[in-house]
Chain A
Amino acid sequence: MSARVLGLSARTLDALMPMHVWIGPTGQILHAGRTLKRLPGGARFEGRALFDVLAFRRPRKVRSLDQLLCLNAAEIRVTLNDVPDLSLKGVVIALPAGTGAFLNLSFGISVQEAVRRFKLDIGDFAASDLAVEMLYLIEANAAVMAESRSLNRKLQNAKRDAEHRALTDTLTGLNNRRAMDAVLESLVAAPGPDGFGVMHVDLDHFKAVNDTLGHAAGDAVLLNVAKVLRTETRAGDVVCRVGGDEFVLFLRDCNDEVLLSQVAERIIARLEEPVDFEGKEARISASIGITMSSLYDHPAVDKMLSDVDEATYASKHGGRAQHTFVTPAKANSHTTLGHKSGTGASAF
């Protein structure tokens, strides 16, 4: 095999390698590629010593032509002295018989920054260079990411809106306060011939469970409460969780105080059954307030809710674990408090 020698003009070299540096036997720059000449200081490269215009970053200690020639074919990192913050990558080739060296450089990963800072153009890159494709990809990627972010933002807002409109309590699956408002409004608008009952269930000692056994135990208790309230009511009744440990029940077609008392007592008894949580017993009870639409000459949402709230308060103050009815007098006035009609025993 014989070595072939190729004679290339500076113009040809520029077309093939627009960022090359041709170094003569004494270490001075014979020719710099046309794109390199567009960089700061590049127009004055030719005729100067290589190590006056650039510094080696990797390997670091290359300061002479001899050291440079030892790097034959190795990957190098350099910076131009006029642009010390922009790293260029490249390769060194030692020319035969001590005639110098050849350096071909590229912007590597900094291509976008370089193009922007030095206002480079498609023509500044060799046709075989992937730099333009890389710039294309960077932009395509940015455009697609922007679209993706915009869609994600919209979906996030939609999710928030959906949650805002949701009618279900996520922990227990019961109706939430928003659902309660809607149900009560429609019941008040059309109470039916027998009217309806409203029961406000406020858990007793729930905070103690949370504080001593932790929130997971609290959640287990709440799930059990939801189960009890569902099973102690009929299919057409509505059970809502309206606060951390507050529940409201709507009992349709019901104007029977005795029946409602029985339901309340059964609920209290079942809620007092200890709940097992990881081998420990969680115990709660409940204070209940009750009202019925039949007590009112003109049932109104706000009035019924504030009455039933006061009745619950009376149960709490009466020693908890009991239920209190709103009186007919209270239902049609603004002054008196409901009377106690039950005294559930409590172990607490």
Chain B
Amino acid sequence: MNGLITTSLQRFLEDTYGREAWLGIAKRAKVPDAQFETMLSYPEDLFDETLAAASAELKKSPTTILEDMGTHIISHPDLPALRRLLRFCGASFSDFLNGLEDLRDRASLAVPGLDIPALELKPLGGKRYHIRYNWHRPDGIHVIAGILRAMADDYGTLAFMEVVSDDDGQPVIEISVLDRVFTSGREFELGAQA
């Protein structure tokens, strides 16, 4: 598994619950040197071990941890890169949603070999959408839900989202956009400050 994903989990746990809590989780999961590196790859088992250890130590469900991790990597001010890169997908939250299908291609353009979920937007009429999800890890859908929640905030759009099952019994993210411009959102200047 790409180190970007494992490091995201570490950053979320460390930023939210503190260094000590992370060291306890890392020890329990046997993370080498208690440190993931974004530029390295790790066995997927190690991610599972870390998630299970976090769930046990923090007494939170793995799905909650995954969703919170998705939100964290977008909303934490120390991690601006991903949020900025996602903002390039569209000028508004609905443009962003419509651009989600290109996300995989964008990711591999940025980091060759980065494997992320395939997403497909299905409009349900009104301001409701289903986002279909396809990846080798079904639980990754919760990370995507967390990311989308944070991105809606970032665009200043009031949206409600939930992981549900669609008519075929497949897990999907259901999104209801309640208000297109809820707040002014976070500032996004196309040109990054050097």
Residues of A whose CB lies within 8 Å of any CB of B are 112-117, 119-123, 132-133, 135-137, 139-144, 147-148, 151, 154
Q: How far is the CB of B175 from chain A (nearest CB, A)?
A: 21
Q: B85 an interface residue at 8 Å Cβ cutoff?
A: yes
Task: List 4 A-B pairs, minimum CB-CB distance, nearest first.
Answer: A116-B191, A140-B110, A115-B191, A143-B81
Contact between A151 and B191 (Cβ–Cβ < 8 Å)? no
Task: Among B81, B85, B189, B191, find the residue whose CB has the most chain A CB atoms closer than 10 A.
Answer: B191
Contact between A151 and B109 (Cβ–Cβ < 8 Å)? no
A120-B190, A121-B91, A139-B192 given as contacts; is B84 within 8 A of A147 (CB)? no
Q: B111 an interface residue at 8 Å Cβ cutoff?
A: yes
Q: Which of B76-123 contact A (CB under 8 A)?
A: 81, 84-85, 88, 90-91, 106, 109-111
The majority secondary structure among interface residues of chain B is loop
Contact between A135 and B110 (Cβ–Cβ < 8 Å)? no
Among B37, B38, B90, the residue within 8 A (CB) of A122 is B90
Among A120, A140, A143, A147, the residue within 8 A (CB) of B191 is A120
A-B contact pairs, 24 of them (CB 8 A): A112-B191, A113-B191, A116-B191, A119-B189, A119-B191, A120-B191, A121-B91, A122-B88, A122-B190, A123-B91, A133-B88, A135-B88, A135-B190, A135-B191, A136-B88, A139-B84, A140-B109, A142-B192, A147-B38, A147-B39, A148-B39, A151-B37, A151-B38, A154-B37
Q: How many Å lie between the Cα of A137 and that of B40 in the bound state?
A: 21
Q: How far is the CB of B76 from chain A (nearest CB, A)?
A: 15
Which chain B residues lie closer than 8 Å to A112 at the CB level? 191-192
CB nearest neighbor in A for B109? A137
Contact between A151 and B39 (Cβ–Cβ < 8 Å)? yes
Per-residue CB proximity of B105-143 to A under 8 Å, as 1/0?
A: 010011100000000000000000000000000000000
Q: How far is the CB of B63 from chain A (nearest CB, A)?
A: 28
Among A132, A144, A148, the residue within 8 A (CB) of B190 is A132
Which chain A residues lie closer than 8 Å to B193 at the CB level? 116
Q: How many Å lie between the Cα of A217 and that of B83 in the bound state?
A: 60
CB nearest neighbor in A for B79? A143
Q: How many Å lie between the Cα of A136 and that of B110 in the bound state?
A: 8
Which chain A residues lie closer than 8 Å to B85 at the CB level? 136, 139-140, 143
Task: Among B106, B189, B192, B194, find the residue whose CB has the most chain A CB atoms closer than 10 A.
Answer: B192
Task: Among A112, A115, A121, A139, find the residue whose CB has the most chain B CB atoms closer than 10 A.
Answer: A139
CB nearest neighbor in A for B191? A116
Supply 12 further A-B pairs (C-beta < 8 A) apart from A114-B191, A121-B190, A135-B191.
Answer: A112-B192, A116-B192, A122-B190, A123-B91, A135-B88, A136-B106, A139-B85, A140-B85, A141-B110, A142-B192, A144-B111, A151-B39
Q: How many Å lie between the Cα of A154 and that of B39 in the bound state?
A: 12
Q: How far is the CB of A38 from chain B (nearest CB, A)?
A: 12
Per-residue CB proximity of B150-194 to A under 8 Å, as 1/0?
A: 000000000000000000000000000000000000000111111
Q: How many Å lie between the Cα of A139 and that of B110 in the bound state?
A: 9
Contact between B37 and A137 (Cβ–Cβ < 8 Å)? no
Which chain B residues lie closer than 8 Å to A139 at the CB level? 81, 84-85, 88, 192
Q: How many Å lie between the Cα of A113 and that of B190 in the bound state?
A: 11
Which chain B residues lie closer than 8 Å to A151 at the CB level? 37-40
CB nearest neighbor in B for A118? B191
Which chain B residues lie closer than 8 Å to A140 at the CB level? 81, 85, 109-111
Q: How many Å lie between the Cα of A136 and that of B85 in the bound state?
A: 6
Q: How many Å lie between the Cα of A133 and that of B190 in the bound state?
A: 11
Which chain A residues lie closer than 8 Å to B110 at the CB level? 136-137, 140-141, 143-144
Q: How far is the CB of A61 from chain B (nearest CB, A)?
A: 34
Which chain A residues lie closer than 8 Å to B91 at the CB level? 121-123
Q: Which of B56-88 contact A (CB under 8 A)?
A: 81, 84-85, 88
Q: How many Å lie between the Cα of A117 and that of B192 in the bound state?
A: 10
Which chain B residues lie closer than 8 Å to A121 at the CB level? 91, 190
Q: How many Å lie between the Cα of A137 and that of B85 in the bound state?
A: 9
Q: How far is the CB of B182 from chain A (nearest CB, A)?
A: 20
Which chain B residues lie closer than 8 Å to A154 at the CB level? 37
Q: How many Å lie between the Cα of A37 and that of B12 in the bound state?
A: 44
Which chain A residues lie closer than 8 Å to B192 at the CB level? 112, 116, 139, 142
Q: How many Å lie between the Cα of A140 and that of B192 in the bound state?
A: 11
Q: How many Å lie between the Cα of A119 and that of B188 in the bound state?
A: 10
Q: How far is the CB of A70 from chain B (nearest CB, A)?
A: 36
Q: How far is the CB of A241 from chain B (nearest CB, A)?
A: 32
Which chain A residues lie closer than 8 Å to B191 at the CB level? 112-117, 119-120, 135
Q: How many Å lie between the Cα of A141 and that of B37 in the bound state?
A: 17
CB nearest neighbor in A for B190? A115
Q: How many Å lie between the Cα of A135 and that of B109 in the bound state?
A: 12
Q: How far is the CB of B83 from chain A (nearest CB, A)?
A: 11
Q: How many Å lie between the Cα of A142 and that of B194 in the bound state?
A: 10
Q: How far is the CB of A339 from chain B (nearest CB, A)?
A: 55
Q: How far is the CB of B88 from chain A (nearest CB, A)?
A: 4
